[in-house]
Amino acid sequence: MSYTVAAVCAVVASVLYLAFPVLWEAARKRNMAKYTAYYDLKTLGHSRETSSKIPGTAVVCGGSIAGLLTARACHDHFERVVIIEPEAWLSTDEGRQTEALNQTSKRARIIQYDVYHGFHSLIYRAMANFFPDFDNAAAASGIKVDRTDMDYRISGVSPPSAPKFYGGNTPKRLWSSRRGLETLLRRLVLDTKAYPNIEQFVGSVLNNATGAAQAGHKWLPALGFAQDLQIQSYNPRAVYGSMTMRVPSSFWDSLSHMPDNARGPAAGPVPLPQWLFDFLDKLHEVEDTLAFQKIRQNADPSSLLPYEKCARLPENFVALGDANCRVNPIYGQGFAKVVNGVSSLNTLLEQGRFERALPRDFGRKFFNMQAPKIEPLWTNPKLFDTVPVPGESDNQMYKFKRRYIANLRKLAFKDEQAKLAMYRTSMMLDSATIDYFHPALIIKVFWQWMTSTA
Ligand SMILES: Cc1cc2nc3c(=O)[nH]c(=O)nc-3n(C[C@H](O)[C@H](O)[C@H](O)COP(=O)(O)OP(=O)(O)OC[C@H]3O[C@@H](n4cnc5c(N)ncnc54)[C@H](O)[C@@H]3O)c2cc1C
């Protein structure tokens, strides 16, 4: 009898062992589909036949990042798209000029307009899928598309990259001032030849409704909706400093030894390379053009509006980008939130491709789809900001997760599996949190933890 039990156990164990890679891969795919926009990216830019477009007008509040990308997605599904944007100059040629640095008007509501932004590969993929000639359009605006690596460093050194998983090339990503990318996006979206159904009007949907103002929660309750919305918020007490200088094109002539993807000391190996000092010395030539901006997030803390939990929602209302969630800017996730939201919207519209009307409960379906894709972008900064949301505490679980990730990062310098997990998540492409918790990786991380000296 005991032989039989042992034999059955051995068979079951062998089957599980053999089946594990398949089961794990299936779980990974489910996790990615739910928590990331990776699979949704594929259908961005797939337009319906004109005869199948939904009759009527999609109204988009705000012509900034979220508004412009939403309008672009809606163009593929609706007969008409209207953007309402209060800042009048954004509807003139200046709002979409190729040389955004020469704009003289100022963005009234975007404090970070002059701040340099970093964008995950996810953002590049979304742009390239939406706009077929994106690389050339970016080049015309002086926006850099390159194949730079990981985002995090320990003592100034990044772990090695993992290009072999991407056909020998690391995925493309974007570097640009916020001003540059926003203006380029506007030029592309408001191109009436490419997207004839999109119009932008100067106006305001109520007062200060979207982006950071997140006013959905202010006016929906007045209409009997979202009265039970439980906003979560905390102040990460972040201070963001940004320096801008204007350099002539000849400035770079004597700096040809700077690597193509140089991004300042944070990206430099230790000891810091000579090119960095040469670059800093050279900046003296243009120091009179220096503009310094300090952004303190006192008035606009991190916040999440979980609309999906509300009992009553309008059928045809969605909120995405900063209107749904704001996070500490030091993590550079703002555009990723927008892409996750716009991809959810597009997937939902794509599912009803042959229906000439919005599906029933469209708003709720949207929020249900968007919420898990926003969840990691909201939770991870919370983990590292260590400023609890009222009602939460920086508890043992948070502390454990922080230590786990810290050890995973260290491990990534010497272990291929850890490196790949970190690399993929930093690109926000084909990965999800589950990659951090592969059983073999868990064992290695704990070993790292136990044997770590620092
Ligand atoms: C200092 C700083 C640095 C950052 N760095 C990065 C980074 O490196 N990478 C990154 O991905 N993200 C970064 N972010 C975050 C990113 O900039 C935001 O997440 C992003 O701007 C959100 O875009 P949005 O379109 O949702 O909102 P917004 O950009 O705030 O746009 C809202 C739009 O709505 C319009 N509007 C306002 N009221 C009304 C109304 N009543 N009716 C109609 N329209 C209205 C506004 O004029 C505006 O055009 C940073 C943020 C800050 C503050």
The pLDDT tens digits along the chain (454 residues) read 688 888 889 888 888 888 999 999 999 999 999 999 999 999 999 999 999 999 999 999 999 999 999 999 999 999 999 999 999 999 999 999 999 989 999 999 898 899 888 888 999 999 999 999 999 999 999 998 888 765 555 555 666 666 677 777 788 888 889 999 999 999 999 999 999 999 999 987 755 455 666 667 778 888 899 999 999 999 998 888 888 898 998 998 988 888 766 655 455 556 777 888 999 999 999 999 999 988 886 666 899 999 999 999 999 999 999 999 999 988 889 999 999 999 999 999 999 999 999 988 999 999 999 999 999 999 999 988 988 888 888 888 899 999 999 899 889 888 989 988 888 888 888 888 899 999 999 999 999 999 986 5
pTM across the whole model? 0.92
C-alpha–C-alpha distance, residues 269 and 68, integer Å: 38
Q: How far is CA 22 from CA 26, 65, 433, in A?
A: 6, 39, 18
Phi, psi (rounded to 5 degrees) for 295: -115, 120
Tell me the backbone φ, ψ of residue 145, rounded to 5 degrees.
Answer: -105, 120
pLDDT at 205: 73
CA of 391 to the centre of ligand 1 (A): 28
Q: Is 109 in the pocket of ligand 1 (CB under 6 A)?
A: yes
404 lines ligand 1 (CB under 6 A): no
Q: Is the CB of 210 under 6 A from ligand 1?
A: yes
**Which of 65, 68, 122 for mutating ligand 1's site (highest number of atoms within 8 Å of CB)?**
65
Domain spans, the chain: 20-36+395-451, 43-237+298-385, 246-289
Q: Which two tokens stand for residue 424?
A: 């993929």
Task: Indicate the burial class of 445 (C-beta count within 10 angstroms; 0-12, 13-18, 19 or more).
Answer: buried
Ligand 1: which residue has its CA nearest to atom 34?
A: 62
Burial of 246 (0-12, 13-18, 19+ CB in 10 A): exposed
The pLDDT assigned to 24 comes to 95
The answer, yes or no, to whether any atom of ligand 1 lies below 6 A from the CB of 86, is yes
What is the edge-to-edge ordering of all strands in the sheet holding 232-234? 232-234, 302-304, 325-326
Question: What's the distance, CA 391 to chain centroid?
Answer: 27
CA of 345 relative to ligand 1 center, distance in Å: 19
Q: Is the CB of 378 under 6 A from ligand 1?
A: no
Q: Counting atoms of ligand 1 from 1, which one is nearest the CA of 338?
A: 26
Task: Identify the residue whose C-alpha is closest to ligand 1 atom 28.
Answer: 211
Which token pair is 378? 């909201």
How much is the pLDDT for 26? 96
DSSP β-bridge partners for residue 199:
82
Give the CA diameter of the chain.
Answer: 88
Q: Which residue owns the Cα nearest ligand 1 atom 19?
A: 334
Does residue 321 line the site of ligand 1, with CB under 6 A?
Answer: yes
pLDDT at 185: 98
Tell me the backbone φ, ψ of residue 102, rounded to 5 degrees: -90, 5
Cβ pair 81, 71 in contact under 8 A: yes
pLDDT for residue 157? 60
| Structure confidence at residue 219 (pLDDT) | 81
E strand residue ranges, 170-285: 173-177, 198-202, 232-234, 239-244
Of 2.40.37.10, 3.50.50.60, 3.40.50.150, 1.10.3720.10, the CATH number of 43-237+298-385 is: 3.50.50.60
Residue 77 vs residues 71, 120, 163, 349, 429: alpha-carbon distances, Å: 10, 27, 36, 7, 25
Helix (H) or strand (E) holding 292: strand 291-296
Q: State how far the Cα of 275 lies from the Cα of 357, in Å rounded to an integer.
A: 58
